[in-house]
Amino acid sequence: MTPIPLPSDPGRDPDSEPEEAAGVAADQNRGGVVQARDLSLTFQTADGPVFALSGVDLEIDQGEFVSFIGPSGCGKTTLLRVIADLEQPTGGTLSVNGVPPHEARLSRDYGYVFQAPALYPWRNIERNVTLPLEIMGISAAERREKAREYLDLVNLGGFEKKFPWQLSGGMQQRASIARALCFDPALLLMDEPFGALDEIVRDHLNEQLLRLWAKTQKTVVFVTHSIPEAVFLSTKIVVMSPRPGRIIDVIPTDFPRDRTLDTRETPAFLEVAHRVREGLRAGHSYDD
Amino acid sequence: MTIDAHAGPLPGPGLVARMFSGRSGPIAVVALAIVALWYAGALYLNAPGQIDAFKRAKTEWGVSDFVKGALAQKRPVLPAPHQVLVEMKETILDQRITSKRSLVFHSWVTLSSTVLGFAIGTALGIFLAVGIVHVGTLEKSLMPWIISSQTIPILAIAPMVVVVLGAIGLKGLVPKAIISTYLCFFPVTIGMVKGLRSPDPLQMDLMQTYSASAWQTFWKLRWPSSMPFLFTSLKVGIAISLVGAIVGELPTGAQAGLGARLLAGSYYGQTIQIWSALLTAAILAGAMVALVGVIERLVVRAMGGQR
């Protein structure tokens, strides 16, 4: 099992593909939670094709916390949406939990947290959190129990009967995380969940998220454009670059998992942050 | 505030100020303006008839005689408000409600077909909107017809509906209700198409991540999202249903209903009767719209309040 995938090379030799693919097939069932090989997605627009993703190779293992970081337009959200089967790739192979993304979605293998809380305003917090359970046909009693359990987990105990507008933005996003977790998916996909929140709330939620991750042992894929956030949270940082959207570096963070906000002052942290920044700079084209 | 507490209670805002901070003040002002205009109009429009009457009777007349006469004609061009109110009192309060002279009776006849037409129209409108939102080809094939249906004057369609339905044995309530339906389904369809499409992309994506069925997406997302749009449409729909029912009573020579009262009034030049029927219809429409508004408020409260 190779925890660190090869950085993608847009100019790679297609002949090298078969051996790799064979290796992937062999350990597909036990291997990574997410495995992408030469994944690409091209949108056909009126202005010509847009290469949202090109030659993406990626492997995410069980229990990892992986961040996608890059400037806007680098395809990080698109990649997450492809993993979630909300977009269809136009080339390459991808498996999620050992099956194609479509099957993974049908068997509800992942919970998705969007940029906005996307709570339904006519449902109270409890009924928002248990929406997926309702769709899966879980009994009302069990739903109530799960709501309590997961609202406690995100420190929203006691807010069951409140409506979304009665909660702050940070609380709403926590509720949406509880909603993504309540049916216990193995994989948590988060698309800039704290992007709209202020720095202080964001730091706080980052700490909470780390604790949550330690407690639940989920695999987390996290999209962000904040370097400190990515370094602070991740076990592995995937640096992406636009036009075409591609992976330019994959950086493991080998400092310990029990991090606090003070971790951000340590040399190890700064070193990784520096490497991420270098990667972003290298991938950025200044021709525009 | 606490420092001044010993100085006694602050004087509250005056009655007028309080009225104008709410809605009652502005409404009262508009109502007074309408009544004043109405009286002025009645005097002006009834003047020629009144002067003729004085001439025929060869009486001397002054301003007060003129005003008194112009506002008390038996068949005025424009009856004065108080004449209409007196007529309404006589036909609403002083009659047994089963009497053919009772406006309550006629209102009930019109109201029953209004409500039936409104119910069918709402159901039809929602049904069409659901189809249009879920089936792409339906939008292209149905929308032009739905829109052109409303460009045909209802007065042209109404007699044909009555005649055609009469030929297959449907008389009375149903043809009128169908005409109400014809008018009512339109705002409901248009409103609900917009309403059912109002969930934002993230809310729709969320349903997809749960691989929810179209049925679940409809009941748990599209339907609740469309409620504000539905109630806006229903308010238009109920008022327009009443118009449809009244129009439906005109070509049938109906014996009962507010439309029949309007028609009979115009046959016999009973302008006071016409205006009292009109005012009753207006009050009825206002009451029904208000009722829909009350239901809306209850629904909004049940759906979490803030909207």
Q: Where are the domains of chain A?
A: 32-109+185-288, 117-184
Pick from B203, B210, B211: CB nearest A120 = B203
B61 and B209 fall within a common domain: no
pLDDT value at A31 more than 70: no
Q: In this structure, is residue B156 part of a structural domain?
A: yes
Q: How many domains does chain B have?
A: 2
Q: How deeply is A267 buried, as exposed, middle or buried, from its count of CB atoms within 10 A (0-12, 13-18, 19+)?
A: exposed
The tokens for B165 are: 């339905």
The answer to whether the Cβ–Cβ distance between A163 and B210 falls below 8 Å is: no
Q: Residue B16 sits in which domain range?
A: 9-78
Q: Does B210 touch chain A (CB under 8 A)?
A: yes
Q: In this structure, is residue B4 part of a structural domain?
A: no
pLDDT of residue B306: 63
The answer to whether the Cβ–Cβ distance between A111 and B208 falls below 8 Å is: no
Pick from B208, B303, B306: CB nearest A86 = B208
The answer to whether the Cβ–Cβ distance between A123 and B304 falls below 8 Å is: yes
Pick from B211, B221, B306: CB nearest A106 = B211
pLDDT of residue B131: 94
pLDDT of residue B289: 95
Beta bridge partners of A246: A241
Pick from A84, A111, A118: CB nearest B203 = A118
Q: In this structure, is residue B170 part of a structural domain?
A: yes
The answer to whether the Cβ–Cβ distance between B202 and A165 falls below 8 Å is: no
Nearest to A105 by CA among A114, A93, A97, A115: A97
**How far from B50 is each of B41, B42, B61, CA to CA, in Å?**
14, 11, 10
pLDDT value at B37 more than 90: yes
First to last CA, chain A: 40
CA distance A208 to A75: 27
pLDDT of residue A142: 92
Lay out the sheet containing A246-252: strands in order across: A110-113, A187-191, A219-224, A65-69, A236-241, A246-252
Could you tell me where the DSSP H helices lie in chain A? Answer: 17-26, 76-83, 101-106, 125-129, 131-135, 140-153, 169-181, 199-216, 227-233, 267-283
B72 and B206 fall within a common domain: no
Backbone angles phi, psi at A73, to 5 degrees: 90, 0
B64 and B115 fall within a common domain: no
CB A43 within 8 A of CB A52: yes
CA distance B150 to B205: 36
The answer to whether the Cβ–Cβ distance between A121 and B307 falls below 8 Å is: yes
The CATH number given to whatever domain includes residue B119 is 1.10.3720.10
Chain A CB contacts of B206 below 8 Å: 112, 114, 118, 131
pLDDT value at B187 more than 60: yes
Pick from B205, B216, B307: CB nearest A135 = B216
The secondary structure element, H or E, covering residue B287 is helix B271-302
Chain A CB contacts of B208 below 8 Å: 85-86, 105
Most confident of A238-242, B70-74, B220-224: B220-224
Q: Does B202 touch chain A (CB under 8 A)?
A: yes
pLDDT, tens only, A98-144: 899 999 999 888 999 999 999 999 999 999 999 999 999 999 999 99
Could you tell me where the DSSP H helices lie in A87-198? Answer: 101-106, 125-129, 131-135, 140-153, 169-181
Mutation site, A81, A106, A109, A122, interface B, largest B CB count within 10 A: A122
CB A99 within 8 A of CB A92: no
**How far from A1 is each of A79, A235, A249, CA to CA, in Å?**
22, 16, 19
Q: Does domain A32-109+185-288 have CATH number 3.40.50.300?
A: yes
pLDDT value at A16 more than 50: no
Chain A CB contacts of B307 below 8 Å: 121
Task: Report the pLDDT averaged over residues A54-62.
Answer: 90
What residues contact B140, with CB distance under 8 A and at least 6 apart? none
B74 and B142 fall within a common domain: no
Residue A74 DSSP class: S
pLDDT value at A27 more than 90: no
B212 and B257 fall within a common domain: yes
B111 and B74 fall within a common domain: no
Q: How deeply is B262 buried, as exposed, middle or buried, from its count of CB atoms within 10 A (0-12, 13-18, 19+)?
A: buried
Rounded to a whole number of angstroms, the distance from the CA of A117 to the nearest CA of chain B is 9
Backbone angles phi, psi at A72, to 5 degrees: -65, 145
User: Of A170-179, B89-98, B215-224, which gets the smallest average pLDDT?
Assistant: B89-98
CA distance B108 to B85: 19
pLDDT of residue B59: 83
Task: Report the pLDDT averaged over residues A228-232.
Answer: 90
Rounded to a whole number of angstroms, the distance from the CA of B157 to the nearest CA of chain A is 41
B61 and B120 fall within a common domain: no
CA distance A58 to A250: 9
Q: What is the mean pLDDT of chain B?
A: 88
Quickly state the pLDDT bin for B252 (edges 50, 70, 90).
low
Q: Looking at chain A from residue 74 to 133, which residues have their Cβ under 8 Å from any Cβ of chain B?
A: 84-86, 105-106, 108, 110-112, 114-116, 118, 120-124, 131-132
Pick from B210, B224, B304: CB nearest A132 = B210
pLDDT, tens only, A173-229: 999 999 998 998 989 999 999 888 888 888 888 888 888 888 888 899 999 988 989
B145 and B291 fall within a common domain: yes
Q: Looking at chain A from residue 123 to 152, which residues have their Cβ under 8 Å from any Cβ of chain B?
A: 123-124, 131-132, 134-136
Q: In this structure, is residue B216 part of a structural domain?
A: yes
Work out the number of other CB atoms within 10 angstroms of the CB of residue B134: 14
pLDDT value at A262 more than 50: yes
